[in-house]
Structure 1
Amino acid sequence: MTKIKLALCQMNVVDNKEENLKKATSMIKESVKQETDFIVLPEMFNCPYSNDKFIEYCEEEKTSRTISKISQLAHENNVYILAGSIPEKENANLYNTSYLFNRNGEIIAKHRKMHLFDIDVKGKIKFMESDVLTAGDNVTIADTEFGKIGIGICYDIRFPELARLMAQKNALILFYPGAFNMTTGPAHWELLFRSRALDNQVFCVGVAPALNENASYHSFGHSIITNPWGEIVTETDTKEELVITEIDLSEIKKIREELPLLKNKREDLYEIIEK
C-alpha cells in the first residue's frame, strides 16, 4: 500500500481538559467518516501551552484518561492515531510526549520531545520549557502497514541531524506535532517543513493547535504536509480546521531516483551517527 489518507486535526485547545478531549473525539470521528487511514492531533492537544498548565494537566501513562480515550477511539474506528503530545509524568519528571496508536488501539511508539523549547526573542517572546520539562533521549521510529515513520515534536524539527537519523532508519514520513508561535511561525514554520522534506526526500507532516487569542500562548496554526520535492501539499491558516489529504509514498522512490541526494552523500568524508 503506497497511498495513505491523512487527517490533520488543527483543533482549538482551551483551558479545560474535558472540552479538549471532546473536540479531539469529534474531529477523529469526522475523519473516520471520510475514510482516513491515519489521524494526527496537535502538540499539547489536551492542555494549554503553558508551563503551569503542563504541571496541572499532566498524566501518568498507566492511568491517563487521555491515552485511554485515544486508544479506545483508534480501536473502535480501526484507524491509526498519532496523539500529538500531552504532558506526561513519570516519577518526578514531566515530559512532552507523543503516542502513536495502531488500528487495535495499541501504543506502537512513544516519543518524548528531545529538544526543549528554550528561547528568548527580545521584545517578542520568551519561553523556557526546561523550567518544568525533562528532555527525551530517543530517536523514535515506528513500523506501520505503510512503512516506517519517524516522530519528533515541534522544536525537534529545527535540528536536521534528528531528521537525517530517522531517514537513515528508513522512515518515509516524519511527523512533527508542533505549536510554533506568532513570532517564529511566520518566519520559519513553512521553511523548516519544506527543508526537512527536501533534505531527506520524505514527506513531513506538522499539526498545530489553532490560534486561540484568549490563551497566553498564541499558536501559529498552519498545519502542513510537505513532499519529498520540498513542495507544500497542503497547509491551513490559523483557524480551527480538519484537513483530509491523500499522499502517495511511491513519490519518494521516484524523486530519489531522479535526484539521488542520499546516494550522493560523501560518507567517506562525513556521517551522522546515533550515540
Structure 2
Amino acid sequence: MAHTLKIAALQLGNHSNKREAINNAVNQIHTAAKDRGAKLVILPECWNSPYDTKQFAQNAEHIPNGETSKALAKAAADNNIYLVGGTYPEEDGGKVYNTCPVWGPKGEFLGKYRKMHLFEVNIPGKVNFNENNAFTHGNNFLNFNIGDLKAGVGICYDQRFAEFAAAHRQHGCDLLIYPSQFDTYTGPMHFEVTGQARALDNSMFVVMCSMARDTSQDYAAYGYSAICDPWGRVMCRAREGPEMLIADLDLRMLTDVKKQVPIIHQKRNDIYELKIKK
C-alpha cells in the first residue's frame, strides 16, 4: 500500500443551469488533479440541480450514460484520477434515486450507490424537508479499491446511522465518503461531530463533501466540508462558500490506530453482532 493518498473534496457553488454546473465541476476537477496533485476527487450531493423535491424528477438522467455521467467519466480519464461524482438525480425504470457514481483513472465506471436512508426532517419554524416525496430508497452498498485501499460511499443522511458505517468496516473499508447537503439548522450541531464519530467508531478516514451555502436557494446547504482521520480528529474543514479541500491521507495511520486501540478486534461478537443482509 502506498503511504499517502492526496484527495480533494470540492465544495461547489450553485449554478443557474446544469450545463454551467457541469462545466464548473469539470474545471474544478482539472484544477484539483493537475494543479494540486489529487489522485481522488470528490464532489458534493445534488451539485448539478437544485436541492428541491419538485425539481429532482425533471433533472434526473440515466447513470452512467447521461450527460453528467459522460462528462465526469471523461474528466476522470483526462486527469488520471479516481472520481466520486457526488450525487445527482438518477432515473431508472420510472423511479428516481439520489445516486452517487464512481469512476476510475481510465474513465471506467466502478459502480453507483443509491442513497439508502432518505432525509426526513420536520423541525417547526426551522427546517422541513422529506426526500421520500421524490426519491426511492437504494438497497445496496458500494465499495471500490484505490490500490490496496478500500473505500465506501454513503450520502449525507447516511452519516447519522452508525450501523451503516460499521457495515462498511465489515466490508474492509478504511475510507468512507459522504457527499452531503446538511441543512443550516442541524448542520452546526451534528454535521462535523457525526463524521468524527464514524471515523472514531471504525478506525477509518471519513470525508464529508458538502455544497457551498447559498441562502438564495429555498434549501441552503450548511457547507463546512470536512475530512477526519482514524483518531476522529478533523484534518481540515471548509467555510461556507465554494472551496477546495486538499488533504494527504497518511495510510500508515490506519495500521497504527488499529494496533494501538484495537476496538475492531475487541467487539464482543459472542454477545452482539451486526448482520449485513445484502
Assess same fold via TM > 0.5. Answer: yes
Task: Quote the residue 2:106 is aligned against.
Answer: 104
Counterparts in 2 of 1:120 and 1:75: CA distance versus 1, 3 Å:
same
The partner residue of 1:38 within 40, 45, 49 is 40
Query: 2 CA distance for matches of 1:142 and 1:215?
Result: 34
What stretches of structure 1 move > 6 A for 4+ residues in a row? Answer: none
Task: Quote the residue 1:217 is aligned against.
Answer: 219
How far the C-alpha of 1:180 sits from its partner, in A, is: 0.2
CA-to-aligned-CA distance 1:151-176 (integer Å, 9 cap, x gap): 00000111010100101111010000
1:250 aligns with 2:232: no
Task: Quote the residue 1:179 is aligned against.
Answer: 181
Query: 2 CA distance for matches of 1:50 and 1:101?
Result: 26
Question: Where does structure 1 lack aligned partners over 5 or more consecutive residues?
Answer: none
How far the C-alpha of 1:62 sits from its partner, in A, is: 5.1
Structure 2 counterparts to residues 55-134 of structure 1, below 5 A: 55-61=57-63, 63-134=65-136
How far the C-alpha of 1:131 sits from its partner, in A, is: 0.6
Question: Where does structure 2 lack aligned partners over 5 or more consecutive residues?
Answer: none
How far the C-alpha of 1:63 sits from its partner, in A, is: 3.7
Task: Quote the residue 2:4 is aligned against.
Answer: 3
CA-to-aligned-CA distance 1:124-153 (integer Å, 9 cap, x gap): 111010111000001221122141111000
Aligned length: 275
1:166 aligns with 2:158: no
Q: TM-score, normalized by length of structure 1?
A: 0.98
Which residue identity does 2:254 align to in structure 1? I
8 Å contact 1:85–1:177 — kept in the other structure? yes
Which residue identity does 2:7 align to in structure 1? L
**In angstroms, what is the RMSD of aligned CA positions?**
1.0
How far the C-alpha of 1:25 sits from its partner, in A, is: 1.1
How far the C-alpha of 1:14 sits from its partner, in A, is: 2.6
Query: What secondary structure, in the 3-state scheme, does the structure 2 residue paired with 1:87 have?
Result: strand
Query: What secondary structure, in the 3-state scheme, does the structure 2 residue paired with 1:238 have?
Result: coil
Task: Quote the residue 1:138 is aligned against.
Answer: 140
How far the C-alpha of 1:243 sits from its partner, in A, is: 1.7
Give the percent of matched residue pairs that are identical in Structure 1 and Structure 2: 33
8 Å contact 2:63–2:101 — kept in the other structure? no
How far the C-alpha of 1:109 sits from its partner, in A, is: 2.2
Q: Which moved more, 1:39-48 or 1:6-15?
A: 6-15
Query: 2 CA distance for matches of 1:73 and 1:203?
Result: 25
8 Å contact 1:201–1:252 — kept in the other structure? yes
Q: TM-score, normalized by length of structure 2?
A: 0.97
